[in-house]
Amino acid sequence: MIRYRHKSYRGDGMGIFKITFVGIRRRLPQIQKAAFTTLVAVFFVTAVLIFQENMYQWQMSSNKSRFGDWYICEKTTKEPNKVLDENDFLEKPLKAESTVRIFDSDWNNTKLYVGSMTDDFMKQGRIRLAEGRMPEASDEITMDWNTLLKLGYEGELGQKVTINYYENDNINSDKGRLSATFTLVGILNNYTNIWQDGKNIPGAIVTEERLKEFKCTIYNIYIYPFKDSVRTQDYANVYKKIKEDVKSQTVYNAAVYDYSPWKSKTVYAYMYIVVMVIGILALTYQLIEYRNRRKKAYELFKNMGMDKSHIREMYIIENAFILIPAGIAGILLALIAGSVTGHVLEAKTGYEFYSVNVDVVIKSVCSVIVAVVIEELTGLISNIKILSKKDS
């Protein structure tokens, strides 16, 4: 027990600090237990908030890996549309070329095209090789699985692939029928039957030089990435405004940018409230329990002559000693755990998504503050009840 002599008590802040820290040192196991409870509660709240924030980002990146990391796709025989090229919300476009409409062995229109792609276009669109490589010679071709299967090929590298097409797209004349044979050197993951209006993207890729040898109109395919600064809730409205100003043929990547894990935004609010309530209740319970364990000591100090303001100072210092280090440790541990988990998932999935907003830290700190307020109100109500009983 701490010896407290009224005569030697100086009544200043330094005396309170000295007495408080002597008490903390003597009750270190109890303090550590309370701090650990606080750490776990803060860790839980922060970890769930990190999960909630990154769940959307993870799904967006997952969608981009399947449906292409682009916002608007433009098909034109000209240069990029000026409205799109200079738009404040869009990055500079990346280009592919499409020219030959492919027909199967019975000369039925597959609605698929031969074309060429740059490495930058493939990287932005997240178009990946499943097998083999991209064409390097004029007699080589790389195709996505959907195009291969549409033409009746099994997709064996090295096999000969015949492309049937009409000269200058003159499908009304049998005389315009032409064929070209290539060696299959690579197979791409599907995109022509997965992307929004993906059939306009060339599903059979040849070299740029070979593409020009086809006697057909060359269409330029431009994909425009979205700037990261645009808010999620503005995606659809931005496209609506762009569509009003652009006259060329455009496609909006709705599969990515209209995605919502839950249709109602109230679900997000509900999740946040539930997490906060659980965390706040855990912290409040710990604070109330700690205060109840210290009641006898505070009464003893009061009987020895310490006034209420100094007891309150002692209580605040003890709580700060518990809450501040434990809260910081809980947030840091949650951030570290989230970062490790996020980067492991990124390595496994092959795309990046993990990020932590400052809001996560602010919300975690707010949960601690609310818990302290609730604990203080609980103590105040408890004191009022005790006084009313004494009066009666």
**Residue 43 CA neighbour count, 13 Å, CB half:** 16
| pLDDT at 20 (0 to 100) | 64
- 3-state SS string for the chain: CCCCCCCCCCCCHHHHHHHHHHHHHHCHHHHHHHHHHHHHHHHHHHHHHHHHHHHHHHHHHHHHHHHCCCCEEEEECCCCCHHHHCCCCECCCEEEEEEEEEECCCCCEEEEEEEEECHHHHHHHCCCEEEECCCCCCCEEEEEHHHHHHCCCCCCCCCEEEEEEEHHHCCCCHHHEEEEEEEEEEEECCCCCCCCCHHHCCCEECCHHHHCCCCCCCEEEEEECECCCCCHHHHHHHHHHHHHHCCCEEEECHHHHCCCCCCCCHHHHHHHHHHHHHHHHHHHHHHHHHHHHCHHHHHHHHHCCCCHHHHHHHHHHHHHHHHHHHHHHHHHHHHHHHHHHHHHHHHHHCCCCCCCCHHHHHHHHHHHHHHHHHHHHHHHHHHHHHHHHHHC
- Distance between CA atoms of 163 and 206, rounded to whole angstroms? 11
Instruction: Find all residues with CB under 8 Å of 321, minimum gap 6, and list them.
Output: 24, 31
Rounded CA separation 131/263 (Å):
38
For the entire predicted model, the pTM comes to 0.66
Kindly give the confidence (pLDDT) of every residue in the chain, 392 residues in length, as a single tens digit, with 9 standing for 90 and above: 444 444 444 455 456 666 666 666 666 677 777 778 778 888 888 888 888 778 778 888 888 888 999 999 999 888 888 889 888 889 999 999 988 899 998 999 999 999 999 999 999 999 999 999 999 999 999 999 999 999 999 889 999 999 999 988 777 777 789 999 999 999 999 999 999 888 889 999 999 999 988 888 889 999 999 887 776 667 888 888 888 888 778 889 988 888 776 655 666 667 767 777 777 777 777 777 777 776 776 677 677 667 777 777 777 777 777 777 888 888 888 889 888 988 888 888 777 778 777 878 887 787 777 777 776 676 556 554 444 544 45
| Secondary structure, 3-state, 319-361 | HHHHHHHHHHHHHHHHHHHHHHHHHHHHHHHCCCCCCCCHHHH
Q: Quote the pLDDT of residue 138.
A: 94
Tell me the two tokens of residue 220.
Answer: 């330029």
Cβ–Cβ < 8 Å for 134, 206: no
